[in-house]
Amino acid sequence: MEIKLFGRWSFENIDVKDEGLKRYISLEPVYIPHTSGRLVGKQFGKSRMNIVERLVNKIMRSGQGTKKVAGKYIRGGGNTGKKQTAIKIVKNAFEIIEKRTKKNPIQVFVNSLINAGPREETTTIIYGGIRYHQAVDVSPQRRVDFALKYIALGAFATAFNSKKPIEECLADEIIWASDSDTKSYAIQRKEEIERIAQSSR
């Protein structure tokens, strides 16, 4: 019997078009994306964790508080530590994605990760007492981390102080990122990071 996410969406025939990211996007079939912390604290343990669970974990976040996200200072514990709530949010968002795109939401989500991960960033090099920025390639693991972070943060920022529920905001963010639409916060951040890196080559 095939294992489907929430008993609805199949992990079979999900295509990761970027060869470099295949090792780091785990599509091991699960019913409920919850490993109870079995992979925490192990080196590269997160790359063995199902990619949907990694999104659920990113949704369990508090606001930045200190710097602006999408033009707002976001504060508040929100959904911190409430995994069941986060799982429900992701499930409802996937239902919205399926309704709008008529595709498997897992495939749409994987496409959004591939599009939202920056390929180049800058690092600070101190040489002879002078600091300057140097463009460097981003490792595949870090690309997935960036994409997940910005998709969750974009949804969180849109839903903050808004009548729009977080499920819709997350669905919008994933659909826009999968189409490389600049309405997506994740795509905006990716382009900004790559633009800064290009000027630092």
Helical H segments across the chain, by residue range: 51-59, 83-101, 105-116, 140-159, 166-178, 185-199
Q: What is the average per-residue pLDDT within 40-66?
A: 78
User: What would the pLDDT profile of 139-155 be if each residue is shown by its tens digit?
Assistant: 888 888 888 888 888 88
Using pLDDT thresholds of 50, 70 and 90, give the confidence band for residue 23.
confident
Q: Is the dihedral of CA 7, 11, 12, 14 positive or negative?
A: positive
Domains in the chain, start-ordered, CATH in brackets? Answer: 4-199 (1.10.455.10)
> What's residue 1's pLDDT?
75
> What's residue 101's pLDDT?
86
Written as six digits, the tokens of 19 are 């060869």
Q: What is the average per-residue pLDDT within 156-177?
A: 85
C-alpha separations of 35 from 32, 49, 84, 131, 196 in Å: 9, 8, 12, 43, 37
- pLDDT at 71 exceeding the cut of 80: no
Asked if residue 56 lies in contact with residue 79, where contact means CB atoms within 8 angstroms, the answer is no
Tell me the CB-side half-sphere exposure of residue 152, using CA atoms within 13 A. 25
Rounded to whole angstroms, the Cα distance separating 125 from 17 reads 34
